[in-house]
Structure 1
Amino acid sequence: MAGSGRYMLRSLASSSGTKMMNPKPRMVSSEVKGLSVVHDETNMEFFIKLGEDKAFLQYDVLDPATGAVDLQHTVVPEVFRGQGIAKVLAKTVMDHFASRDKHMKLTCWYLQKFYKENPLPAYSGKIIE
């Protein structure tokens, strides 16, 4: 899988406490259902800090000219699963890209499920098969 290497490197870097390559990532955050969702554009990741852990959604840019993205992985630490955290990430990320008129490829199985259960008009025409 093309994105798997990046996923493994990020996971190892996050768990070992090592700093990422770019020490000053450009970040934007928003409050959703009491959870702060941060967009780390440099590392192409949205995340929610959960104490010492974090839930995250990683993406890649498919086409720099159009800004189309591949939403690849959604990960929630096991202890926090079943609490709607993945849903908050999914909605925030899909709303973010849809509001910027960006097309999205839903590689992540959870995002495919979320989209099927939430076929919102804002996402219409924005999903790449």
Structure 2
Amino acid sequence: MTFRQFSRFILLSGNCPVRSYSLHSNGVLKVEHDRRNLRFTVSLRNSAGDAEHAVLRYTLTGEKHVDLVSTVVPETFRGRGVAALLSKAAMDFLVEESLKAHVSCWYIKKYIEENPRSAYKDLVIN
């Protein structure tokens, strides 16, 4: 299953802007960037109709520095590009905000290696 980006927009949730990245593949997946809780989230429905969440977490390590800490995808949704979608949203956030990042998460490291955009690699702190 592959996902293609088709739109980006900003939602306002209280005083905290939440950026959403909408993608489609027989439906819509939306990555929400929750700046207050320092995470990117995709809400998913499993076969029983229950809500599950894939999450990429980060921490602020300085005024213009973050640490991309972890990516967790529910087991039933692994291998479908959800972690890549979260990683792309996080990396695009770094580019848009001119941030530098230490990458602690093994999956995000893999994503950057497999998507060798200079805009991404220039933002990674070794």
Shared fold (TM-score, shorter chain, > 0.5): yes
Match of 1:101 in 2: 98
Matched length: 105
SS in 2 for 1:90: helix
| Counterpart contact for 1:61–1:68, Cα < 8 Å | yes
Residue 63 (structure 1) aligns with: 62
**Matched residue SS, 1:105:** strand
Q: CA deviation at 1:30?
A: 2.1
Cα deviations across residues 10-59 of structure 1 (Å, max 9, x unaligned)?
xxxxxxxxxxxxxx572222213431000111100000001210001000
For the Cα contact (< 8 Å) 2:112–2:121, is it kept in 1?
Answer: no
Please report the RMSD computed on the Cα atoms of aligned residues, expressed in angstroms: 1.7
Distance 1:46 1:25, change over 3 A: farther
1:96 CA drift (Å): 1.3
Task: Report the TM-score, using the length of structure 2 for normalisation.
Answer: 0.77
Residue 85 of structure 1 deviates from its aligned partner by: 0.4
Q: Which amino acid aligns with 2:95?
A: A
Query: Whose strand proportion is higher, 1 or 2?
Result: 2
Higher helix share: 1
The answer to whether the aligner puts 1:30 opposite 2:21 as a matched pair is yes
Q: Report how far residue 78 of structure 1 moved.
A: 0.2
- Structure 2 regions of 5+ residues with no counterpart? 1-13, 46-50
Q: Which runs of 4+ in 1 moved over 4 A?
A: none
Decide which moves more: 27-36 or 91-100: 27-36
Contact 1:25 1:42 in 2 (8 A): no
TM-score, normalised by the number of residues in structure 1: 0.75
| Aligned-pair identity (%) | 37
Partner of residue 49, structure 1 = 43
Structure 1: any 5+ residue segments left out of the alignment?
1-23
Q: Superposed, which structure 2 residues align to 1:12-27 within 5 Å?
A: 26=16, 27=18
